[in-house]
Amino acid sequence: MRTRPLKVALLGCGVVGSEVARIMTTHADDLAARIGAPVELAGVAVRRPSKVREGIDPALVTTDATALVKRGDIDVVVEVIGGIEPARSLITTAFEHGASVVSANKALLAQDGAALHAAADDHDADLYYEAAVAGAIPLIRPLRESLAGDKVNRVLGIVNGTTNFILDKMDSTGAGYQEALDEATALGYAEADPTADVEGFDAAAKAAILAGIAFHTRVRLDDVYREGMIEVTSADFASAKAMGCTIKLLAICERAADGGSVTARVHPAMIPLSHPLASVRGAYNAVFVESDAAGQLMFYGPGAGGAPTASAVLGDLVAVCRNKLSGATGPGDSAYTQLPVSPMGEVVTRYHISLDVADKPGVLAQVATVFAEHGVSIDTVRQQGRQDGGGDASLVVVTHRASDASLTGTVEALRNLDTVRGVASIMRVEGE
Ligand code: HSE
């Protein structure tokens, strides 16, 4: 074994960074044996130097992250500060000064992955980011390496633990969105400002990264259609249950049947209880992958948290250190296919539409005609008279597969019917 250590700079020492430092210390001998050389924590860049960080030599702590990555003796920079800047500049500077990079930064990778990969290539460096998607779950490396000989056609994932916790709570207890969110906040699953999670931004960044790797093409954050889950109601769950389904916030990346384009989207959807993703409870994540040769695969585990995310970071650190020792680099960007990303209007799926309608002769026929005029075929219709004496009824229509554009046109036309009092909810039905 080489005795001269590989030097690691840690950018950020919060929930994840402190776990990375702890595991580097407590597992030092095993890491050295697996890598073939010791790894040394050579510096830790933080914003608040006065904060006590157990197990970290205060002499290693600095507020000057730029000086740390410019030192010249750093072999690997571990970036766990998140956000776009200064992370982007620090990573680029790290490459320029001979370091490889391990990052957990989904927002940055989703927005600037191409430029960062190019910078890594220019400097014969590695850029690894297993922790950026679904925390501890091995996903990036299986897609990049284990499935490199296969053809992935679809990735369907629960990639946000906060929203899965909320939806699971709503499903299992009948709680409304706000009540379930409050509990998620009290238990530390949801942040004080939960927007990134509940509006689907976090999942959209992960979808962009997964789609790019799965389909060997460029998918940017802006290419991902996004709907949050704040409008999901207890009534939606009741409807889902009536269909033998539950509701999940899904990230869905698909290759078109003709192979000529891809789509990436994040939105709440009904999935059958028989689908493996339906049994993903609490704050867990899971990603279901469908490929030509392997068939169906599911990756499951904790998608967030200090130690689980640090596990993924450490796995990357070992891989990057091994590459450094052998003078090689691992698999880099593989966006060679340049497939167009189709707009949401071209996505084809099934829909569950809940309408409030007048309960009088001819209404069902009128509604059915609107669906027919837009080329949307109805699978089932369920009508229930309301008990409020207002002469209205609830009409639930489930369609066969149709394009999102056709469905949007249908709903617009339905809203213009005098007999349709309101469109209570529209939800896609996936995983069948
Ligand atoms: N906030 C994310 C989640 C974890 O709830 O899954 C980090 O991406």
Query: Among residues 380, 157, 401, which one has the least CA distance to residue 275?
Result: 157
Cβ–ligand 1 distance for 304 under 6 Å, the answer yes
Determine the distance separating the centroid of ligand 1 and the alpha carbon of 105, expressed in angstroms: 11
- 206 as an active site residue: the answer is yes
**Which of 7, 106, 169, 206 is labelled catalytic?**
206
Cβ–ligand 1 distance for 200 under 6 Å, the answer no
Interatomic CA distance for residues 280 and 282, integer angstroms: 7
CATH code for the domain defined by 344-429: 3.30.70.260
- Going by alpha carbons, the residue nearest to atom 2 of ligand 1 is 160
Three-state secondary structure string covering 80-126: CCCCCCCHHHHHHHHHHCCCEEEECCHHHHHHHHHHHHHHHHHCCCC
The CATH number of domain 140-303, selected from 1.20.140.10, 3.40.50.1100, 3.40.470.10, 3.30.360.10: 3.30.360.10
**From the CB of residue 325, how many other CB atoms can be counted at a distance below 10 Å?**
15
Residue to mutate (ligand 1; options 80, 202, 284, 300; most atoms within 8 A of CB):
202
90 CB-near residues (< 8 Å, 6+ apart): 11, 65, 66, 69, 77, 79, 81
Say what the pLDDT of residue 51 is: 85
263, 423 Cβ separation under 8 angstroms? no
Extract the tokens encoding 312: 């993924």
Q: What are phi and psi for residue 125, nearest 5 degrees?
A: -120, 165
Determine the distance separating the centroid of ligand 1 and the alpha carbon of 179, expressed in angstroms: 19
33, 101 Cβ separation under 8 angstroms? no
406 CB-near residues (< 8 Å, 6+ apart): 374, 375, 376
Atom of ligand 1 nearest to the CA of 165: 5
At residue 8, what is the residue type? V
Domain ranges of the chain: 6-135+307-326, 140-303, 344-429
- Going by alpha carbons, the residue nearest to atom 4 of ligand 1 is 304
Interatomic CA distance for residues 182 and 169, integer angstroms: 11
What is the CATH class of 6-135+307-326? alpha beta
Q: What number of helices (H) and strands (E) belong to the chain?
A: 14, 17
Give the 3-state secondary structure percentages of the chain, helix then strand then coil, rounded to 5: 40, 25, 35
Tens of pLDDT along the chain (432 residues) come to: 888 999 999 999 999 999 999 999 999 999 999 999 999 999 999 999 888 788 899 999 999 999 999 999 999 999 999 999 999 999 999 999 999 999 999 999 999 999 999 999 999 999 999 999 999 999 999 999 999 999 999 999 999 999 999 999 999 999 999 999 999 999 999 999 999 999 999 999 999 999 999 999 999 999 999 999 999 999 999 999 999 999 999 999 999 999 999 999 999 999 999 999 999 999 999 999 999 999 999 999 999 999 999 999 999 999 999 999 999 999 999 999 999 999 999 999 999 999 999 999 999 999 999 999 999 999 999 997 766 666 799 999 999 999 999 999 999 999 999 999 999 999 999 997
389, 397 Cβ separation under 8 angstroms? no
Residue to mutate (ligand 1; options 103, 129, 137, 197; most atoms within 8 A of CB):
197
Cβ–ligand 1 distance for 303 under 6 Å, the answer yes
Atom of ligand 1 nearest to the CA of 197: 1
Determine the distance separating the centroid of ligand 1 and the alpha carbon of 422, expressed in angstroms: 34
Say what the pLDDT of residue 388 is: 63
Atom of ligand 1 nearest to the CA of 106: 8
Say what the pLDDT of residue 50 is: 85
Cβ–ligand 1 distance for 111 under 6 Å, the answer no
